[in-house]
Amino acid sequence: MVDPKYLSKEEINRLIKNPLNEEEIIICRKNHLLTNAREHIIVGSPEPGSIYFKTQDGREILDCTSQAWVLNLGHNNPDISYAVSLQCEQVTHSWSYMLTPIRIRLCNKLAEILPGQLKGGRISVNNSGGGWALECAMRLAMINNKKGEQFIVFRRGYHGSNLIMMGASQRLPMRFPGRGRELWVRTFYPYCYHCPWHYKGGLGGERDKSCNLECLQMVREKIEMFPTGTPIGCIIEPIQGPGGMIPAPVEFLSGLKEICQNNKILLIYDEAQTGFGRTGKMFATEWYNSKYNVDISPDIMTLTKGAGAGVPIGITVAKSKLRQLTEFEEHSTFSSPPLGMAACLVNIEILQKNKIPENAEKQGNKISSFIKDLSEEIPEIGDVRGPGLFIGVEFVQDPETREPNNDLLEKMVHVGWDNGIFFGEQMQIMSTAGYFIQNTLKIKPPLIINDEETEKICELFEKSLKDSIKSLEK
Ligand SMILES: Cc1ncc(COP(=O)(O)O)c(C=O)c1O
């Protein structure tokens, strides 16, 4: 590491590394703009690359959220830290239109590993994440498809909280209605466990074998009834994350691709959460392609979160046939972020060399089957969905009615924390009857977990669930 020039190492340590004192914390609580800054303070991890984090009050918590599904290689991964400090010695920032060695290497690498028709495609990066990557995808769709005005989006989808993407997302509470609302037309997502056409066999993210894909017919009809002619694009998470960990059946995705192709609509996959190994393959698109032997790859795809293994980066990729974006159509001050790009390139190398996606598949299967077995004994476990370490456990009041059990989810997250494990929650959805639904627990630890850590997750899941049910019965 280089030696500092203007400050001493001690001065810099004092600002960054020295332990916090109580007074600093009290002052910050007053200064903080966000109300949801939680009571707990994360101060580090027991060791570099750990799946645990340490809190200010001295606890070590097993992280099943990877901090917003980002730290796929664990907290403070040492290879990523090394890559970033090395990159700091090369280029830390440049104009967005300048090429740098790291940008060239990352673009080439991504183009090489992209799935299906995206292989050999074009890449744009940013340092703001998924929302910006999607806006870039929308601009790209707009310049390539000049006749339409709107985008198709799906029920329970989430695509970011910047003012435009908020309209595409079904996040509540919606405090900012109206902005860009005219851009979106929303239709059904194939949520088979709660199929509105009452097919009951849609478990574990698979469709009921007798279903006639009425939800796909809805998409066709929506397009025919489009107020402004054909839509420009269709944005979908192939496996919904925030909305409840819901894989779309492959038949829906291949049908959707066909509808888009037939109607000249650009198909955009949001793989913010599913990219970079979480499903057991590098991308969810690849997972479907290889499991079902069909190519469901889209025209455009967006990525973020696990991409930089903890260093910010958002990525938009497009098949090479599309017209490229000019500087005026896509740029921001930081849209050539060397640190994020260095982290992403090294991340890809680690994932490939160490077969980390395969590990995610193996450990994820163990956790999912453990929970499925437990569901024989615990009727509140309604559905268990994968794939890989993209696990959702939907809690219900009764497995017959499948009525959501919000209380159990809330309790489980609190009890889990007390037991030393941090579980994630789906985002809140407003039901048509006007109440909130939030009943799917997320288990998405770093992808590097080993056998022992997997067993620990299973053990703590069972204990926390049983403790939660007992405490709700009181
Ligand atoms: C599926 C999905 N798309 C888009 C986004 C938005 O990404 P960002 O918060 O980086 O803008 C998220 C973030 O949670 C996401 O989960």
Structure tokens at 70: 């980002």
Report yes or no on whether pTM surpasses 0.85. Answer: yes
- 384 and 419 housed in the same domain: yes
Taking residue 82's Cβ as centre, other Cβ atoms within 10 Å add up to 14
Which residues, in sequence order, are CB contacts of 298 under 8 Å at separation 6+?
117, 118, 257, 267, 268, 269, 285
**118 assigned to some structural domain:** yes
Structure tokens at 389: 């370490």
Q: Which atom of ligand 1 is nearest to the CA of 240?
A: 1
- What confidence score (pLDDT) does residue 432 get? 73
- What confidence score (pLDDT) does residue 146 get? 84
Domain termination residue (choose one: 353, 373, 402) = 353
- 212 and 297 housed in the same domain: yes
The CATH number for 440's domain is 3.90.1150.10
pLDDT tens by residue, 221-251 = 988 887 777 899 999 999 999 999 999 999 9
Domain span holding position 460 = 10-69+355-474
Domain termination residue (choose one: 353, 373, 395) = 353
- 345 and 387 housed in the same domain: no
**1 assigned to some structural domain:** no
Ligand 1 within 6 A of CB of 238: no
**74 assigned to some structural domain:** no
**76 assigned to some structural domain:** no
As a whole number of angstroms, the distance between CA 196 and CA 236 comes to: 19
**80 assigned to some structural domain:** no
- Tell me how far CA of residue 21 lies from CA of 15, 27, 424, in angstroms: 12, 10, 29
**220 assigned to some structural domain:** yes
Q: Which atom of ligand 1 is nearest to the CA of 271?
A: 1
- What confidence score (pLDDT) does residue 175 get? 65
Residue of 173, 204, 200, 169 lying closest to 394 (CA atoms): 204
- 362 and 342 housed in the same domain: no
- 314 and 430 housed in the same domain: no
Query: What residues form DSSP beta bridges with 126?
Result: 314
User: Measuring from atom 6 of ligand 1, which residue has the nearest CA?
Assistant: 160
- 439 and 324 housed in the same domain: no
- 330 and 320 housed in the same domain: yes
Ligand 1 within 6 A of CB of 244: no
- 150 and 270 housed in the same domain: yes
- What confidence score (pLDDT) does residue 1 get? 81
- 24 and 134 housed in the same domain: no
- What confidence score (pLDDT) does residue 228 get? 72
The CATH number for 340's domain is 3.40.640.10
**2 assigned to some structural domain:** no
- What confidence score (pLDDT) does residue 430 get? 83
Tokens 């090394």 sit on residue: 82
Domain termination residue (choose one: 294, 318, 353) = 353
If one counts the domains in the chain, the total is: 2
Q: Which of 126, 163, 304, 442 has most ligand 1 atoms within 8 Å of CB, for mutation?
A: 304
**402 assigned to some structural domain:** yes
- 456 and 469 housed in the same domain: yes
Residue of 254, 443, 287 lying closest to 363 (CA atoms): 443
- 17 and 55 housed in the same domain: yes
Q: Which atom of ligand 1 is nearest to the CA of 130?
A: 7
User: Measuring from atom 8 of ligand 1, which residue has the nearest CA?
Assistant: 130
User: Is 322:142 a contact under the CB 8 Å cutoff?
Assistant: no
- 144 and 222 housed in the same domain: yes
As a whole number of angstroms, the distance between CA 47 and CA 412 comes to: 27
Structure tokens at 52: 């645990």
Write the secondary structure of the chain as one string of H (helix), E (strand) and C (coil).
CCCCCCCCHHHHHHHHCCCCCHHHHHHHHHHCCCCCCCCCCEEECCCCCECEEEECCCCEEEECCHHHHCCCCCECCHHHHHHHHHHHCCCCCCCCCCCCHHHHHHHHHHHHHCCHHHCCCEEEEECCCHHHHHHHHHHHHHHHCCCCCCEEEECCCCCCCCHHHHHHCCCCCCCCCCCCHHHEEEECCCCHHHCCCCCCCCCCCCCCCCCCCHHHHHHHHHHHCCCCCCCCEEEECCEECCCCCEECCHHHHHHHHHHHHHHCCEEEEECCCCCCCCCCCCCHHHHHHHHHCCCCCCCEEEECHHHHCCCCCEEEEECCCCCCCCCCCCCCCCCCCHHHHHHHHHHHHHHHHCCHHHHHHHHHHHHHHHHHHHHCCCCCEEEEECCCCCEEEEEECCCCCCCECHHHHHHHHHHHHHCCEECEECCCEECCCCCEECCEEEECCCCCCCHHHHHHHHHHHHHHHHHHHHHHHC
pLDDT tens by residue, 5-46 = 999 999 999 999 999 999 999 898 888 888 766 778 999 999
Buried b (16+ CB within 10 A) or exposed e, 266-285: bbbbbbbbbbbbbbbbbbbb
- What confidence score (pLDDT) does residue 30 get? 87
pLDDT along the chain (474 residues), means of 10: 95 95 90 78 96 96 98 98 98 95 98 98 96 97 91 95 88 65 90 95 93 95 81 97 97 97 96 98 98 97 98 98 92 94 98 98 98 98 97 97 97 98 94 86 98 98 98 91
Calculate how far, in angstroms, residue 363's C-alpha sits from the geometric centre of ligand 1. 25
Calculate how far, in angstroms, residue 156's C-alpha sits from the geometric centre of ligand 1. 13
Calculate how far, in angstroms, residue 368's C-alpha sits from the geometric centre of ligand 1. 24
Calculate how far, in angstroms, residue 12's C-alpha sits from the geometric centre of ligand 1. 33
